[in-house]
Amino acid sequence: MLSHKDNELLTRVGAGAPMGDLMRRYWIPAAFSSQIDKPDSPPIRVRLLGENLVLFRDSEGRIGLLSEYCPHRTASLFYGRNEEGGLRCVYHGVKFDVNGACLDVPCVPPGSNVKDKIKAVSYPCIERGDLVWTYMGPPEHKPEFPDLEWAHVPASHRFVTRHVQECNWLQGLEGGFDAAHLSFLHSGLVDMRKGRTDHDRRIVPSAYEVLPLDFGFVVAGGRELPNGNMSWHVDVMLFPFHKIIPSVPLGAHIWAPIDDENTMLYSINFNPERPLNDEEMEREFAWRGIHTKNLPGSDYAEANKSNDYLIDRDLQASGRSYTGVIGLGVQDCAMQESMGPIADRSKEFLFVGDAGIVRIRRLLLQALRDLADGKPLIGMDPRGYRVRSFRCEAPPDRSLEDICRERLSVEPAVAAE
């Protein structure tokens, strides 16, 4: 459990809040590149870390992310004209470039130098993996973009979706590293006499280990095999909000905070070696895995808290589904959102299987202390992100550290942009 004070520290992401200031020191996804696919296309709204922003691509293809509110009279730039190298506010015609510099103030008399005195809030952007990423922290601390393997493979090798989770970002991240829930929340056939899945005894880990590393940590669940070896499932946590999953194809999540009570969850499947095949894509479009079907033209899931995630009680009672909720992503959201907009962690009673969650909280609290003390932050070396989650079988006397040293790292990615 956490104190109320620490819970507030870890969950509040607005400007000036300790966690908000920490998040601003990392690259964060803002949108799909396809949402602003052409020069001078209409701007779109973006909300990140409690800030309302507008994203646009100018006449030369450069990307700008500005505060939504024009610094003149605070009208919304979402309604602006994207033309001739900048975004022009339709209220009084004031125009800004991708860096927030004022290009034109047609509403003042000729000869005025007010253009040199007004500037829009702007954040630098880059494109990686068909996403637009932004850095919202102090310019002098801007890091290199992390070498995320999935962001470097060709577009045919990955599948990326996103949807809004109606809860704090930390609930999503912690849920991603909850080792024990896989055998229950995501299970299939159920023994109705005992309320157990048919694979519980085989899948529930008998050992849990957490290994801190330069980029974050790994969370491993191990179970004993009949031959005496251990079967390890190793998830990777890349600071501050990434997860790499040892699925087939490989998977990834990013929990990008919209504000204190909402999160944009990006879900990725990728294969570093080849394009995703028809069978894999057909499975994803059945929406039973980590990807979630959205309402048409929306970032909100079709199965959501307003309709109880379309739970099928007959299916649940039949024993063919533990939850009656269809889809791994929907099942996760149902539980994480059911905790409320911001979970009260002071009321928890944690188990041994929650070791990864405890490590996340300690790591984040230490990072907040490091930020306050001006110390180097974790995950600043882009090469540290060249890692891949995995599953493996190993002798019982083989340490997790040795296994990770042998299997975790991958060769530097070659950009496919």
Is 271 within the bounds of a domain? yes
Q: What DSSP element (H or E) covers 252? A: strand 250-259
Residues whose CB falls within 8 Å of the CB of residue 219, separated by 6 or more in sequence, listed in order: 177, 179, 208, 209, 210, 234, 235, 237, 355, 356, 359
Which pLDDT score, from 0 to 100, does residue 363 have? 93
Is 143 within the bounds of a domain? no
Asked whether residue 82 falls in the same domain as residue 108, the answer is yes
What is the layout of strands, in order, in the sheet containing 51-57?
A: 44-48, 51-57, 63-67, 122-123
Which pLDDT score, from 0 to 100, does residue 183 have? 76
pLDDT over threshold 50, residue 198: no
Mean pLDDT of 202-230: 87
Per-residue pLDDT tens digits for 142-156: 999 999 999 999 999
Sorting pLDDT into bands at 50, 70 and 90, what band is 90?
A: very high
Q: Could you give the C-alpha distances from 408 to 162, 195, 402, 414, in angstroms and in order?
A: 27, 36, 10, 18
Distance (Å, rounded) from C-alpha 165 to C-alpha 34?
22
pLDDT over threshold 90, residue 237: yes
Asked whether residue 310 falls in the same domain as residue 207, the answer is yes
Which pLDDT score, from 0 to 100, does residue 101 have? 98
31 in Cβ contact with 256 (< 8 Å): no
> Which tops the pLDDT comparison, 414 or 53?
53
264 in Cβ contact with 152 (< 8 Å): no
Distance (Å, rounded) from C-alpha 108 to C-alpha 105?
6
Is 140 within the bounds of a domain? no
CATH for 95: 2.102.10.10
Sorting pLDDT into bands at 50, 70 and 90, what band is 39?
A: very high
Is 2 within the bounds of a domain? no
| C-alpha dihedral, 326 to 330 to 333 to 338, nearest 10° | -40
Asked whether residue 104 falls in the same domain as residue 190, the answer is no
Which pLDDT score, from 0 to 100, does residue 374 have? 97
Per-residue pLDDT tens digits for 246-280: 999 999 999 999 999 999 999 999 999 999 999 99
Split into its structural domains, the chain has a count of 2
Distance (Å, rounded) from C-alpha 249 to C-alpha 77?
41
Asked whether residue 236 falls in the same domain as residue 336, the answer is yes
Which pLDDT score, from 0 to 100, does residue 417 have? 40
Which pLDDT score, from 0 to 100, does residue 105 have? 96
Q: Could you give the C-alpha distances from 149 to 23, 240, 284, 348, 379, in angstroms and in order?
A: 21, 16, 20, 35, 15
Asked whether residue 282 falls in the same domain as residue 378, the answer is yes
- Among candidate residues 134, 157, 191, the one where a domain is terminated: 134
Residue 211, amino acid: L
Is 7 within the bounds of a domain? no
Asked whether residue 98 falls in the same domain as residue 154, the answer is no
pLDDT over threshold 90, residue 20: yes
pTM: 0.93
57 in Cβ contact with 267 (< 8 Å): no
CATH for 340: 3.90.380.10
Is 4 within the bounds of a domain? no
Which pLDDT score, from 0 to 100, does residue 187 have? 79
Mean pLDDT of 296-300: 97
E strands, 166-247, in order: 190-191, 196-197, 207-213, 216-224, 230-238, 242-245
State the helix-helix crossing angle for 355-373 and 4-11, rounded to 10 degrees. Answer: 70
Q: What is the mean pLDDT of the chain?
A: 92
If one counts every other C-beta atom within 10 angstroms of the C-beta of residue 220, the result is 26
Which pLDDT score, from 0 to 100, does residue 352 have? 84
Using alpha carbons, select from 302, 352, 353 the residue that is nearest to residue 183. Answer: 353
Distance (Å, rounded) from C-alpha 266 to C-alpha 263?
9
Distance (Å, rounded) from C-alpha 49 to C-alpha 300?
18
What are phi and psi for residue 111, nearest 5 degrees?
Answer: 95, -10
Mean pLDDT of 154-160: 97
Asked whether residue 82 falls in the same domain as residue 225, the answer is no
Which pLDDT score, from 0 to 100, does residue 250 have? 96
Cis peptide before 249 (omega within 30 of 0): yes
194 in Cβ contact with 319 (< 8 Å): no
Asked whether residue 296 falls in the same domain as residue 162, the answer is yes
Which pLDDT score, from 0 to 100, does residue 111 have? 84
Domain of 165?
A: 149-407
Distance (Å, rounded) from C-alpha 200 to C-alpha 234?
19
Which pLDDT score, from 0 to 100, does residue 3 have? 95
Sorting pLDDT into bands at 50, 70 and 90, what band is 409?
A: confident
If one counts every other C-beta atom within 10 angstroms of the C-beta of residue 154, the result is 11
Mean pLDDT of 156-182: 94
Which pLDDT score, from 0 to 100, does residue 412 have? 55
pLDDT over threshold 70, residue 124: yes
Mean pLDDT of 285-308: 96
Mean pLDDT of 9-33: 98
- Among candidate residues 106, 134, 162, the one where a domain is terminated: 134
Is 17 within the bounds of a domain? no
pLDDT over threshold 50, residue 75: yes
E strands, 44-129, in order: 44-48, 51-57, 63-67, 81-83, 86-88, 95-96, 102-104, 122-123, 125-128
Percent of the chain predicted with pLDDT > 90: 83
- Among candidate residues 73, 102, 134, the one where a domain is terminated: 134
> Which tops the pLDDT comparison, 204 or 216?
216
Choice among 1-5, 47-51, 126-130, 154-158 with the minimum mean pLDDT = 1-5
Question: What's the token pair of residue 404?
Answer: 């990770």
Sorting pLDDT into bands at 50, 70 and 90, what band is 201?
A: very low
Asked whether residue 197 falls in the same domain as residue 312, the answer is yes
Asked whether residue 397 falls in the same domain as residue 249, the answer is yes
What are phi and psi for residue 37, nearest 5 degrees?
Answer: -70, -25
Is 19 within the bounds of a domain? no
395: which strand partners? none
Asked whether residue 120 falls in the same domain as residue 153, the answer is no
Alpha helices in 43-168 (DSSP H): 149-152
What are phi and psi for residue 112, nearest 5 degrees?
Answer: -70, 145
Sorting pLDDT into bands at 50, 70 and 90, what band is 200?
A: very low
Asked whether residue 247 falls in the same domain as residue 373, the answer is yes
